[in-house]
Amino acid sequence: MSEFRGSSTIRSATLTLQSILPSVVENNRLRLFSGSANIPLAQEVARYLGMDLGPMVRKQFADGELYIQIQESIRGCDVYLIQPTCHPVNDHLMELLIMIDACRRASARQITAVIPYYGYARADRKTAGRESITAKLVANLITKAGANRILAMDLHSAQIQGYFDIPFDHVYGSPVLLDYLMSKQLSDIVVVSPDVGGVARARAFAKKLNDAPLAIIDKRRQAHNIAEVMNLIGDVKNKAAVLVDDMIDTAGTISEAAKLLRKEGARQVYACATHAVFSPPAIERLSSGVFEEVIVTNTIPIAEKDRFPQLTMLSVANLLGETIWRVHEDSSVSSMFR
């Protein structure tokens, strides 16, 4: 059965927060609101901070237009809006923009857009003529709407931070994933990057996993969402191979990589990713039996019907909650990942 777990790596931070929590709760400048994209995650973050989500009305008119109204005074407050821009991306992005605008017009002192999953992140550069750099366009829209700060998790491309002319806090889901993997006490682990572009991410993951060895899949992409796996660089024979990526979309790349690892003699194959996009036919590919376990986080909600026996879902709520608290208290965020 699938599991939903928190991370013990945040426990020490939790104790720190609990010792100072009264000052946070008494500070009525802090407000937390959630869009409709991932309300359960927002509720967990609110519980971690010892507060409730702010009241908000969200309606959709017959023609599809959205209506947002903040139902309490936020004048002079520091507002945090939790909204991953996951499927349906355009609807959730527009909802976030309207929430930001509503808070700006309600005279919020500072508006932070908390975006656990940043949609359009893969459109971060031009790979052919006459293309849009949509990741930059989205950054412009969020900024123009009135956001003063961005808090996002595991961007597909780190350079997206530079698309914003406002403060940007980039946090990582790796502490939660690493904590879970270490608890399994796997032997002879090799960390595998599913493509050359993810080598830096896999190398950092391997270093924190007791300096595990690294392997790389040489992938040749024929078209969007279609990948052909060609070669394996590294030794995986009789090892527990851990494929690490920032997201799993259609699972074409990672499932083909897993088949290659099995062919090359890997004893077990695990998939680790922060964002479970799971576009069709991802579920069929991931549940085919090639993976020992598919480990993701809850930055994107997964419907009950889309869960399968090999799936393990970990919560990043404590991590996001701790980051929000540190931003609000002007404390260091980067020290959480050292």
216 shares its domain with 185: yes
Q: Which are the catalytic amino acids?
A: 219
Number of domains in the chain: 2
pTM of the model: 0.90
Q: What is the DSSP string of 237-282?
A: TTSEEEEEEEEESS-HHHHHHHHHHHHTT-SEEEEEEEEE---TTH
Q: Quote the pLDDT of residue 223.
A: 67
Cis peptide bond N-terminal to 301, omega within 30: no
What's the farthest any 2 CA atoms get from each other in the chain? 61
Q: Do 148 and 258 sit in the same domain of this protein? A: no
Q: Is the dihedral of CA 156, 159, 163, 166 positive or negative?
A: positive
Same domain, 11 and 123: yes
For the chain, percent of residues with pLDDT exceeding 90: 85
The tokens of 207 are what?
A: 């270093």
Are 215 and 121 members of one domain? Answer: no
Closest C-alpha to 191, from 131, 241, 234: 241
Select from 306, 270, 236 the least CA-distant residue to 86. 306
CATH at 274:
3.40.50.2020
Owning domain of residue 61: 3-172+317-337
Per residue in 147-177, pLDDT tens? 999 999 999 999 999 999 999 999 999 999 9
Q: Reduce the DSSP state of residue 311 to 3 states and report it.
A: strand
Q: Say yes or no: 329 and 242 in one domain.
A: no
User: Are residues 31 and 111 located together in one domain of the fold?
Assistant: yes
206 shares a domain with 238: yes
95 in the same domain as 241 = no
**Element spanning 221, H or E:** strand 214-223
pLDDT score recorded for residue 22? 47
Tell whether 56 and 69 lie within a shared domain: yes
The pLDDT tens digits for 56-110 are 999 999 999 999 999 999 999 999 999 999 999 999 999 999 999 999 999 999 9
Q: If we measure between CA atoms, which residue out of 163, 181, 152 comes closest to residue 246?
A: 152
Q: How far is CA 237 from CA 158, 193, 208, 265, 298, in A?
A: 33, 16, 22, 4, 32
